[in-house]
Amino acid sequence: MAERIAAPIPVGLVGVTGYTGMELTRVLAGHPDLKLVRATSRSEAGRSLAELYPYLSGPGELGRMGALTVTQPDAEDLAKACALVFLAVPHKTAQEIASALIKRGVKVVDLSADFRLRDKETYEKWYATPHTEAGLLAEAVYGLPELYRAEMAGARLIANPGCYPTSAILGLAPALEAGLVHTGDIVIDAKSGASGAGRKASVGTLFCEVSDTFRAYNLTRHRHTPEIEQEVSLLAGAQVALSFNTHLLPVNRGILSTIYTRLKKPMSAREAHAVYAERYAGEPLVRVLPLGTLPETRWVRGTMFCDIGLAVDERIGRLIILSAIDNLCRGASGQAVAGANLMLGLPETQGLPLAPLMP
Protein backbone atom coordinates (compact mmCIF):
# COMPACT_ATOMS: atom_id res chain seq x y z
CA MET A 1 0.00 0.00 0.00
CA ALA A 2 2.48 2.53 -1.18
CA GLU A 3 0.07 5.26 -2.09
CA ARG A 4 -1.00 7.85 0.47
CA ILE A 5 -4.50 7.32 1.73
CA ALA A 6 -7.11 9.37 3.45
CA ALA A 7 -7.82 9.28 7.16
CA PRO A 8 -8.46 7.10 9.00
CA ILE A 9 -5.13 5.65 8.01
CA PRO A 10 -4.91 1.87 8.39
CA VAL A 11 -2.06 0.67 10.56
CA GLY A 12 -0.87 -2.71 11.79
CA LEU A 13 0.76 -4.06 14.88
CA VAL A 14 3.14 -6.98 14.77
CA GLY A 15 3.40 -8.51 18.22
CA VAL A 16 0.33 -7.91 20.26
CA THR A 17 0.95 -10.00 23.34
CA GLY A 18 3.24 -7.69 25.30
CA TYR A 19 2.69 -4.55 27.32
CA THR A 20 3.81 -2.32 24.47
CA GLY A 21 1.26 -3.97 22.23
CA MET A 22 -1.42 -3.46 24.83
CA GLU A 23 -0.42 0.17 25.30
CA LEU A 24 -0.53 0.76 21.57
CA THR A 25 -4.13 -0.37 21.47
CA ARG A 26 -4.93 2.08 24.27
CA VAL A 27 -3.31 4.98 22.47
CA LEU A 28 -4.85 4.08 19.12
CA ALA A 29 -8.30 3.77 20.71
CA GLY A 30 -8.26 7.53 21.19
CA HIS A 31 -6.54 8.48 17.96
CA PRO A 32 -8.78 10.25 15.48
CA ASP A 33 -6.80 9.41 12.35
CA LEU A 34 -5.16 6.02 12.77
CA LYS A 35 -7.09 2.81 12.63
CA LEU A 36 -5.72 -0.52 13.72
CA VAL A 37 -6.59 -3.04 11.03
CA ARG A 38 -4.08 -5.80 11.66
CA ALA A 39 -2.74 -7.29 14.87
CA THR A 40 -0.42 -10.26 14.60
CA SER A 41 0.98 -12.86 16.92
CA ARG A 42 2.46 -16.24 16.13
CA SER A 43 1.07 -17.78 19.31
CA GLU A 44 -2.37 -16.20 19.39
CA ALA A 45 -3.40 -16.08 15.73
CA GLY A 46 -7.04 -16.94 15.22
CA ARG A 47 -8.31 -15.52 18.46
CA SER A 48 -9.93 -12.14 18.73
CA LEU A 49 -8.10 -9.34 20.49
CA ALA A 50 -10.90 -9.27 23.06
CA GLU A 51 -10.22 -12.88 23.92
CA LEU A 52 -6.69 -11.87 24.80
CA TYR A 53 -7.67 -8.61 26.41
CA PRO A 54 -11.24 -8.67 27.70
CA TYR A 55 -11.05 -4.95 28.45
CA LEU A 56 -11.03 -4.31 24.70
CA SER A 57 -14.77 -4.40 24.52
CA GLY A 58 -17.70 -2.04 24.64
CA PRO A 59 -19.08 0.33 22.08
CA GLY A 60 -16.91 2.36 19.75
CA GLU A 61 -13.28 1.95 18.94
CA LEU A 62 -12.42 -0.26 21.94
CA GLY A 63 -14.99 -2.81 20.87
CA ARG A 64 -14.02 -2.57 17.21
CA MET A 65 -10.41 -3.32 18.07
CA GLY A 66 -11.46 -6.11 20.38
CA ALA A 67 -13.29 -7.76 17.51
CA LEU A 68 -10.16 -7.85 15.34
CA THR A 69 -8.91 -11.35 14.69
CA VAL A 70 -5.24 -11.82 15.46
CA THR A 71 -3.37 -13.01 12.40
CA GLN A 72 -0.04 -14.63 11.67
CA PRO A 73 2.55 -12.01 10.79
CA ASP A 74 2.65 -11.97 6.98
CA ALA A 75 4.43 -9.16 5.19
CA GLU A 76 2.32 -9.54 2.09
CA ASP A 77 -0.94 -9.24 3.96
CA LEU A 78 0.31 -6.41 6.13
CA ALA A 79 1.48 -4.49 3.08
CA LYS A 80 -1.88 -4.85 1.43
CA ALA A 81 -3.81 -3.70 4.46
CA CYS A 82 -1.62 -1.11 6.17
CA ALA A 83 0.05 2.18 5.43
CA LEU A 84 2.28 1.79 8.43
CA VAL A 85 3.18 -1.03 10.77
CA PHE A 86 4.38 -0.94 14.36
CA LEU A 87 6.78 -3.70 15.34
CA ALA A 88 6.48 -4.77 18.96
CA VAL A 89 8.55 -7.92 18.75
CA PRO A 90 11.92 -8.77 20.30
CA HIS A 91 15.08 -7.42 18.76
CA LYS A 92 16.54 -9.59 15.98
CA THR A 93 13.05 -10.69 14.95
CA ALA A 94 12.29 -7.11 14.02
CA GLN A 95 15.10 -6.86 11.48
CA GLU A 96 13.59 -9.27 9.03
CA ILE A 97 10.04 -8.08 9.30
CA ALA A 98 11.09 -4.46 8.92
CA SER A 99 12.99 -5.26 5.79
CA ALA A 100 10.15 -7.22 4.25
CA LEU A 101 7.66 -4.47 4.94
CA ILE A 102 9.79 -1.60 3.73
CA LYS A 103 10.50 -3.44 0.52
CA ARG A 104 6.76 -3.50 -0.01
CA GLY A 105 6.42 0.21 0.55
CA VAL A 106 5.06 0.14 4.08
CA LYS A 107 6.36 2.57 6.64
CA VAL A 108 7.67 1.00 9.81
CA VAL A 109 8.05 2.11 13.40
CA ASP A 110 10.20 -0.46 15.15
CA LEU A 111 9.86 -0.54 18.91
CA SER A 112 12.71 -3.02 19.33
CA ALA A 113 16.38 -2.13 19.65
CA ASP A 114 17.28 -3.31 16.17
CA PHE A 115 17.74 0.04 14.48
CA ARG A 116 18.65 2.33 17.35
CA LEU A 117 22.41 1.93 17.27
CA ARG A 118 23.97 3.51 14.22
CA ASP A 119 27.07 1.40 14.53
CA LYS A 120 26.65 -2.20 13.45
CA GLU A 121 29.52 -3.42 15.57
CA THR A 122 28.26 -1.77 18.69
CA TYR A 123 24.92 -3.46 18.11
CA GLU A 124 26.50 -6.82 17.58
CA LYS A 125 28.65 -6.49 20.67
CA TRP A 126 25.91 -5.43 23.10
CA TYR A 127 23.17 -7.60 21.64
CA ALA A 128 25.41 -10.55 20.87
CA THR A 129 23.82 -11.29 17.53
CA PRO A 130 24.64 -10.35 13.94
CA HIS A 131 22.84 -7.46 12.30
CA THR A 132 21.70 -8.50 8.86
CA GLU A 133 20.16 -5.27 7.66
CA ALA A 134 23.03 -2.85 7.53
CA GLY A 135 21.39 -0.86 4.78
CA LEU A 136 18.31 -0.14 6.81
CA LEU A 137 20.46 0.59 9.82
CA ALA A 138 22.01 3.46 7.92
CA GLU A 139 18.65 4.78 6.89
CA ALA A 140 16.69 4.42 10.14
CA VAL A 141 15.88 7.58 12.04
CA TYR A 142 16.09 7.65 15.81
CA GLY A 143 12.57 8.53 16.79
CA LEU A 144 12.99 11.18 19.45
CA PRO A 145 10.97 14.15 18.18
CA GLU A 146 12.80 16.73 20.24
CA LEU A 147 16.02 15.85 18.41
CA TYR A 148 14.99 14.43 15.06
CA ARG A 149 11.60 15.84 14.21
CA ALA A 150 12.48 16.80 10.67
CA GLU A 151 14.24 13.55 9.84
CA MET A 152 11.37 11.55 11.26
CA ALA A 153 8.90 13.26 8.95
CA GLY A 154 10.72 11.92 5.92
CA ALA A 155 11.63 8.51 7.24
CA ARG A 156 10.57 5.09 5.99
CA LEU A 157 11.86 3.46 9.13
CA ILE A 158 11.87 4.88 12.61
CA ALA A 159 13.84 3.27 15.42
CA ASN A 160 11.68 4.02 18.39
CA PRO A 161 13.94 5.00 21.30
CA GLY A 162 14.32 2.81 24.36
CA CYS A 163 12.46 3.80 27.50
CA TYR A 164 15.48 4.58 29.66
CA PRO A 165 17.26 6.43 26.84
CA THR A 166 14.22 8.62 26.27
CA SER A 167 14.33 9.84 29.85
CA ALA A 168 18.10 10.11 30.00
CA ILE A 169 18.64 11.88 26.70
CA LEU A 170 15.85 14.41 27.23
CA GLY A 171 17.22 15.02 30.70
CA LEU A 172 20.76 15.63 29.53
CA ALA A 173 20.20 17.40 26.20
CA PRO A 174 19.94 21.03 27.37
CA ALA A 175 22.91 20.77 29.71
CA LEU A 176 25.08 19.18 27.04
CA GLU A 177 23.96 21.41 24.19
CA ALA A 178 24.72 24.45 26.34
CA GLY A 179 27.98 22.99 27.58
CA LEU A 180 27.05 23.39 31.22
CA VAL A 181 28.55 20.17 32.50
CA HIS A 182 31.61 17.98 32.19
CA THR A 183 31.03 15.05 29.87
CA GLY A 184 33.39 12.80 31.79
CA ASP A 185 31.46 12.73 35.04
CA ILE A 186 27.88 11.70 34.32
CA VAL A 187 26.03 9.18 36.44
CA ILE A 188 22.50 8.09 35.57
CA ASP A 189 20.71 6.32 38.37
CA ALA A 190 17.54 5.06 36.69
CA LYS A 191 14.52 3.37 38.21
CA SER A 192 11.79 1.68 36.20
CA GLY A 193 8.42 0.12 36.84
CA ALA A 194 7.98 -3.58 36.25
CA SER A 195 6.19 -3.28 32.91
CA GLY A 196 9.61 -2.49 31.47
CA ALA A 197 10.51 -6.13 32.00
CA GLY A 198 7.83 -7.26 29.61
CA ARG A 199 4.95 -9.68 29.85
CA LYS A 200 6.63 -13.04 29.62
CA ALA A 201 6.22 -15.61 32.38
CA SER A 202 9.22 -15.32 34.66
CA VAL A 203 9.83 -15.97 38.33
CA GLY A 204 11.86 -12.79 38.72
CA THR A 205 8.96 -10.52 37.89
CA LEU A 206 6.21 -12.32 39.78
CA PHE A 207 4.24 -10.09 42.07
CA CYS A 208 5.82 -11.61 45.16
CA GLU A 209 9.32 -11.01 43.79
CA VAL A 210 8.78 -7.32 43.01
CA SER A 211 6.23 -6.05 45.49
CA ASP A 212 7.39 -4.42 48.70
CA THR A 213 11.03 -4.66 47.67
CA PHE A 214 13.61 -2.84 45.58
CA ARG A 215 16.75 -3.87 43.78
CA ALA A 216 19.28 -2.85 41.19
CA TYR A 217 19.90 -5.01 38.17
CA ASN A 218 22.23 -5.26 35.17
CA LEU A 219 24.64 -2.77 36.71
CA THR A 220 27.33 -1.55 34.29
CA ARG A 221 26.00 -3.69 31.44
CA HIS A 222 22.48 -2.62 30.58
CA ARG A 223 21.91 -2.65 26.81
CA HIS A 224 20.55 0.86 26.82
CA THR A 225 24.02 2.15 27.70
CA PRO A 226 25.37 2.40 24.15
CA GLU A 227 22.12 3.93 22.95
CA ILE A 228 22.34 6.69 25.52
CA GLU A 229 26.04 7.22 24.89
CA GLN A 230 25.45 7.43 21.14
CA GLU A 231 22.93 10.25 21.41
CA VAL A 232 24.61 12.01 24.29
CA SER A 233 27.89 12.03 22.40
CA LEU A 234 26.22 13.66 19.42
CA LEU A 235 24.72 16.29 21.71
CA ALA A 236 28.03 16.92 23.44
CA GLY A 237 30.03 16.88 20.25
CA ALA A 238 32.45 14.46 21.85
CA GLN A 239 32.62 10.81 22.71
CA VAL A 240 30.96 10.33 26.07
CA ALA A 241 31.22 7.31 28.34
CA LEU A 242 28.91 7.46 31.29
CA SER A 243 27.68 5.41 34.19
CA PHE A 244 24.19 4.07 33.54
CA ASN A 245 22.53 1.91 36.17
CA THR A 246 19.07 0.50 36.51
CA HIS A 247 16.72 -0.45 39.34
CA LEU A 248 13.35 -2.19 39.47
CA LEU A 249 10.51 -0.28 41.11
CA PRO A 250 7.40 -1.94 42.53
CA VAL A 251 5.16 0.13 40.29
CA ASN A 252 3.47 -0.77 37.04
CA ARG A 253 4.62 2.15 34.91
CA GLY A 254 7.10 4.93 35.14
CA ILE A 255 10.77 5.72 34.89
CA LEU A 256 12.58 8.24 37.00
CA SER A 257 16.17 8.94 36.07
CA THR A 258 18.26 10.84 38.58
CA ILE A 259 21.15 12.22 36.62
CA TYR A 260 24.27 13.48 38.37
CA THR A 261 26.51 15.88 36.51
CA ARG A 262 29.34 18.19 37.43
CA LEU A 263 29.05 21.84 36.46
CA LYS A 264 31.88 23.36 34.48
CA LYS A 265 31.53 26.58 36.43
CA PRO A 266 29.39 27.62 39.39
CA MET A 267 25.79 28.18 38.46
CA SER A 268 22.63 28.68 40.44
CA ALA A 269 19.64 26.43 40.09
CA ARG A 270 17.80 29.40 38.66
CA GLU A 271 20.33 29.81 35.89
CA ALA A 272 20.28 26.14 35.03
CA HIS A 273 16.52 26.18 35.05
CA ALA A 274 16.48 29.06 32.59
CA VAL A 275 18.60 27.06 30.16
CA TYR A 276 16.22 24.12 30.36
CA ALA A 277 13.10 26.26 30.13
CA GLU A 278 14.39 27.96 27.02
CA ARG A 279 15.49 24.75 25.34
CA TYR A 280 12.08 23.14 25.78
CA ALA A 281 9.93 26.27 25.49
CA GLY A 282 8.35 25.20 22.23
CA GLU A 283 8.16 21.51 22.98
CA PRO A 284 4.64 20.21 23.57
CA LEU A 285 5.70 16.98 25.22
CA VAL A 286 8.40 18.09 27.63
CA ARG A 287 7.53 19.94 30.82
CA VAL A 288 10.28 21.69 32.72
CA LEU A 289 8.75 21.90 36.17
CA PRO A 290 8.96 25.10 38.20
CA LEU A 291 12.10 25.47 40.25
CA GLY A 292 11.66 23.62 43.52
CA THR A 293 9.20 21.13 42.09
CA LEU A 294 10.52 17.65 41.42
CA PRO A 295 8.86 15.21 39.04
CA GLU A 296 6.84 12.19 40.14
CA THR A 297 6.21 9.27 37.87
CA ARG A 298 2.46 9.42 38.50
CA TRP A 299 2.34 12.94 37.04
CA VAL A 300 3.18 11.45 33.68
CA ARG A 301 1.24 8.19 34.10
CA GLY A 302 -0.45 7.33 30.87
CA THR A 303 0.92 10.40 29.11
CA MET A 304 3.52 11.49 26.59
CA PHE A 305 5.13 14.02 28.88
CA CYS A 306 8.72 13.97 29.93
CA ASP A 307 8.78 15.93 33.18
CA ILE A 308 12.08 17.47 34.18
CA GLY A 309 13.16 18.89 37.53
CA LEU A 310 16.48 20.40 38.50
CA ALA A 311 18.57 20.88 41.61
CA VAL A 312 22.01 22.37 42.01
CA ASP A 313 24.17 21.28 44.91
CA GLU A 314 26.23 24.41 45.21
CA ARG A 315 28.40 22.95 47.96
CA ILE A 316 29.91 20.51 45.52
CA GLY A 317 29.19 22.00 42.13
CA ARG A 318 26.75 19.41 40.87
CA LEU A 319 23.72 19.81 38.67
CA ILE A 320 21.19 17.07 39.37
CA ILE A 321 18.58 16.44 36.71
CA LEU A 322 15.44 14.44 37.31
CA SER A 323 13.60 13.13 34.32
CA ALA A 324 10.33 11.22 34.54
CA ILE A 325 8.37 9.45 31.83
CA ASP A 326 5.78 6.74 31.47
CA ASN A 327 7.90 3.92 30.11
CA LEU A 328 5.03 2.36 28.13
CA CYS A 329 3.62 5.56 26.66
CA ARG A 330 6.42 8.11 26.18
CA GLY A 331 8.99 5.36 26.47
CA ALA A 332 7.41 3.05 23.92
CA SER A 333 4.01 2.99 22.26
CA GLY A 334 2.99 6.61 22.62
CA GLN A 335 6.28 7.80 21.21
CA ALA A 336 5.86 5.29 18.40
CA VAL A 337 2.55 6.93 17.55
CA ALA A 338 4.19 10.34 17.59
CA GLY A 339 6.68 8.93 15.10
CA ALA A 340 3.89 7.50 12.99
CA ASN A 341 2.12 10.84 13.05
CA LEU A 342 5.20 12.57 11.68
CA MET A 343 5.83 9.92 9.02
CA LEU A 344 2.22 10.14 7.88
CA GLY A 345 2.05 13.90 7.71
CA LEU A 346 -0.18 14.27 10.74
CA PRO A 347 0.45 16.72 13.58
CA GLU A 348 3.06 15.26 15.91
CA THR A 349 0.76 15.17 18.93
CA GLN A 350 -2.33 13.97 17.12
CA GLY A 351 -4.20 11.65 19.44
CA LEU A 352 -1.63 12.22 22.17
CA PRO A 353 -2.85 14.98 24.45
CA LEU A 354 -3.29 12.51 27.26
CA ALA A 355 -3.93 13.66 30.80
CA PRO A 356 -2.24 11.77 33.64
CA LEU A 357 -4.29 9.36 35.70
CA MET A 358 -4.12 10.74 39.23
CA PRO A 359 -3.93 8.98 41.56
Active-site residues, by number, are 163
- Binding residue for a copy of itself, selected from 322, 325, 337, 338, defined by CB under 8 A: 322
CB of 22 to a copy of itself, least distance (A): 5
Radius of gyration of the chain, Cα coordinates, nearest whole angstrom: 20
Decide if residue 111 touches a copy of itself (CB under 8 A): no
Stretch that binds a copy of itself, among 76-84, 147-155, 170-178, 305-313 (CB under 8 A): 305-313
Chain centroid to Cα 196, Å, comes to 11
List own/partner pairs for 273-278 with CB under 8 A and 24 or more apart: 273/310, 275/174, 275/175, 275/178, 275/180, 276/174, 276/175, 276/308, 276/310, 278/174
Stretch that binds a copy of itself, among 95-103, 124-132, 168-176, 192-200 (CB under 8 A): 192-200
Decide if residue 69 touches a copy of itself (CB under 8 A): no
- Binding residue for a copy of itself, selected from 67, 134, 216, 238, defined by CB under 8 A: 216
> Tell me, what amino acid is at 242?
L
CB of 98 to a copy of itself, least distance (A): 26
Q: Among residue numbers 336 through 355, which ones bind a copy of itself (CB under 8 A)?
A: 353, 355
Decide if residue 327 touches a copy of itself (CB under 8 A): no
Q: CA angle at residue 168 from 175 to 155, to 5 degrees?
A: 100
Decide if residue 284 touches a copy of itself (CB under 8 A): yes
Decide if residue 151 touches a copy of itself (CB under 8 A): no
CB of 332 to a copy of itself, least distance (A): 13
Q: Which is nearer to a copy of itself, 98 or 242 (CB)?
A: 242
d(CA 324, CA 306) in angstroms, rounded, equals: 6
Q: Among residue numbers 219 through 258, which ones bind a copy of itself (CB under 8 A)?
A: 219-220, 241-243, 245, 247, 249-254, 256, 258
Element (H, E) at 348: none
Instruction: Give the residue from 225, 165, 157, 170 showing the smallest Cα distance to 192.
Output: 165
Element (H, E) at 55: none
- Binding residue for a copy of itself, selected from 129, 217, 238, 347, defined by CB under 8 A: 217
d(CA 246, CA 249) in angstroms, rounded, equals: 10
Q: Which is nearer to a copy of itself, 6 or 207 (CB)?
A: 207
> Tell me, what amino acid is at 28?
L
Buried b (16+ CB within 10 A) or exposed e, 325-346: bbbbbbbbbbbbbbbbbbbbeb
- Binding residue for a copy of itself, selected from 1, 8, 29, 235, defined by CB under 8 A: 29
